[in-house]
Structure 1
């Protein structure tokens, strides 16, 4: 599907080529279709003009089968506004698998916005087949700048993450 002023720049990553960003249904449909079919099971449109912009805004579609690492961003805040579906953001105590809080975000009922203003390890878990969020964070974008939780990279840590996801998906 070709969308005017939207260019594919990597697998699952699209760039808006217009300085006036307007999200429409054709973009949402394209993101949903792309996240269902690509290997990462997520897709995004960058609404910021450049990776060097000081504000980075993205519309992200995530399939419930996507794998997102437990991670944190050093000296950056992030916020999510859920536009479609439901996600959970699991916050951890330090660099350990101990959960300090689970923030449930739902586009239809209850809470649909969250902001993290400190560098806590967290895990984003889509709870519906496809969830769509508007994410805002500080730039510039630096690839691989997120710090992955050490404990989550081991076989036992991977099992803990899978168990957390399964528990959340059953609720």
Structure 2
């Protein structure tokens, strides 16, 4: 598969018919390990202005996805490999729902679609999480709102404390459905 690099975390497929196999996923996993934020995405759409954005995304287990919401966008999420909890929050930062997810064979939820602007994050349980995400374009950074009650990625101590607290909350209240 031919790709062009947008940056260290974003690749665009550079072929008229985008095809991905297991070897391609293994390459993406390896590439994610060389990124500071331990993630990479392969975009199958042509550019940020496309109306439909489809991406294969790889996150390593320790990847922090700051709680965020998307304004005026829907998002679908389909797990290909790995397991994670998708945590949905209210505006104040309380957990509304925790969706236990895994690949199709896991027996867990393997797909969700978020149509409302809820804050959400991932708690990754496997060495890697590989998923297919679809959303509407064009990409505009200002359409993503980060939760003010969550630490920024640069606040490593805050991130560690936040993730530990999130894990404890999930274990004490069990999963909400």
Counterpart residue number, 1:106: 102
CA–CA distance in structure 1, aligned partners of residues 170 and 38 of structure 2: 18
User: 1:93 maps to what in 2?
Assistant: 90
Cα RMSD, aligned residues only = 2.3
Aligned residues: 166
Name 1:141's counterpart in structure 2.
139
Counterpart-to-counterpart distance in 2, 1:122 and 1:84: 20
Cα distance between partner residues in 2 of 1:167 and 1:60: 27
CA distance in 1, matches of 2:119, 2:63: 18
Residue 165 of structure 1: how far off its partner (Å): 4.3
- Where does residue 123 of structure 1 map in the other structure? 121
User: TM-score with structure 2 length normalisation?
Assistant: 0.85
State the secondary structure of the residue aligned to 2:76.
strand
The 3-state SS of whatever aligns with 1:150 is: coil
The more displaced of 73-82 and 34-43 is: 34-43
Q: Distance in 1 between matches of 2:138 and 2:49?
A: 4
Deviation digits for residues 121-149 of structure 1 (CA, Å, limit 9, x no counterpart): 11122210101000000100113531001
- Unpaired runs of 5+ residues, structure 2, are none
Q: Deviations over 1:74-108 (max 9, x none)?
A: 010001100000121100112x2210000111013
When residues 166 and 21 of structure 1 are mapped into structure 2, their CA distance, relative to the original with a 3 A threshold, is: farther
Structure 1 pair 48–98 and aligned structure 2 pair: CA distance change class (3 A): same
> 2:84, 2:167 → 1: CA distance?
11
Write the distance in 2 (CA, Å) between the matches of 1:98 and 1:38.
31
The answer as to 2:68 corresponding to 1:67 is: no
Secondary structure of 2:149 counterpart: helix
Stretches of structure 1 lacking an aligned partner (at least 5 in a row): none
- Are the counterparts in 2 of residues 19 and 49 from structure 1 also a CA contact under 8 Å? no
Q: How far apart are 1:161 and its partner, in Å? A: 3.8
Residue 57 (str. 1) matches residue 54 (str. 2): yes
TM-score normalised over the length of structure 1: 0.88
